[in-house]
Amino acid sequence: MSAPSYTPQLRPLSVGEMLDAGFRLFRARFMTLILCVLVPVVPLTIIATAVQASVDPNAFDLDSTETVDSGSALAGTLVAALIQFAAAALAIAACFKAISAAYLGEHAGVAESLRYAVGRLLPLLVAYFLVVIIVGLGLVALIIPGIWLAVKLSMAFPAVVFERTGPFAAIGRSWALTKGNWWRVFGTLLVVFLISFVLQIVFAAVAGGLLAAGDSVSELAVAIVLTLVNLLALALTYPLWASVTSVVYYDLRVRNEAFDLQLLAQGVGAEPARFESAPERPAAPPPDDGGFAPPEGSTTSS
């Protein structure tokens, strides 16, 4: 009797199932995802904060009403923003890698996920700027076109990470994947956006309460509190967004490209450890539901 060879059990999901799968993946890989965020974000955020403070002496002075208007201050602000973008790109790419492996029944640790993220840093940054510019122009024109564009381009980051495409190809890929599924993607990501928005409000309130507790708060204390609260917010919102977006991405590929059948074909005759069972993924529907349910494992008698 040979060992079982597992194959990923994927099928089209409803909005509720996609959210449930994303939340379960988030919980199941919680520590891995938190570390995928904190390892790159903590040092780079500290560097960005130091750069911002060095070029703008009033950056963390809550009582100051003066603004620094100089070329060096502007350059420092741009450098700090670029460092933050790089930190976000690394964290999100690492989360995507870890989540993708978990969803497909494989395994990727923190170190492996971060190494993979470093290799995708440049195309991720370019894709990020392109998406921001396109969506920003849509929002300037009218709110509705901006939201529509944001959803249409929401799969660009997964395409860069999972398919190793370039930034321009990733935008086209996202456009094609979301065709005919705009409302499904919008409804799923809207829930994640609202959760992240509420978390940001809570963290902002916590930061405000901590800073208001003292009569006189030093600039160093302000910088530390704001940095810590921001890190905590990112450590929760980035993995949550990556988890749900990854599930949406694979759902679109199953619907548009029969990705489930491709994986089933790859799994037939594979090494026993090629795929592991993934209880975080939604179970297959009963046979009378009419859905396609590839076998989770098979055995052959010798």
Closest by alpha carbon to 169, among 200, 133, 123, 134? 123
Mean pLDDT value across the chain: 77
Identify the band that residue 142 occupies on the pLDDT scale cut at 50, 70 and 90. low
Residue 291 placed within a domain: no
Instruction: Find the distance separating the first CA and the last CA of the chain, reported in whole Å.
Output: 6
Does residue 16 form part of some domain?
no
Residue 39: give the domain boundaries.
Answer: 21-260
Q: Is residue 141 part of a domain?
A: yes
How many domains does one find in the chain? 1
Instruction: Provide the whole-model pTM.
Output: 0.76
Q: Work out the pLDDT band at 179, boundaries 50, 70, 90.
A: very high
* 272: in domain: no
Residue 215 lies in a domain: yes
- Phi/psi for 199 (5° steps) reads -60, -40
- Whether 274 is covered by a domain: the verdict is no
SS3 115: helix
pLDDT band at 79 (very low <50, low <70, confident <90, very high): confident
Q: Is residue 26 part of a domain?
A: yes
CA distance 84 to 41: 8
Residue 296 lies in a domain: no
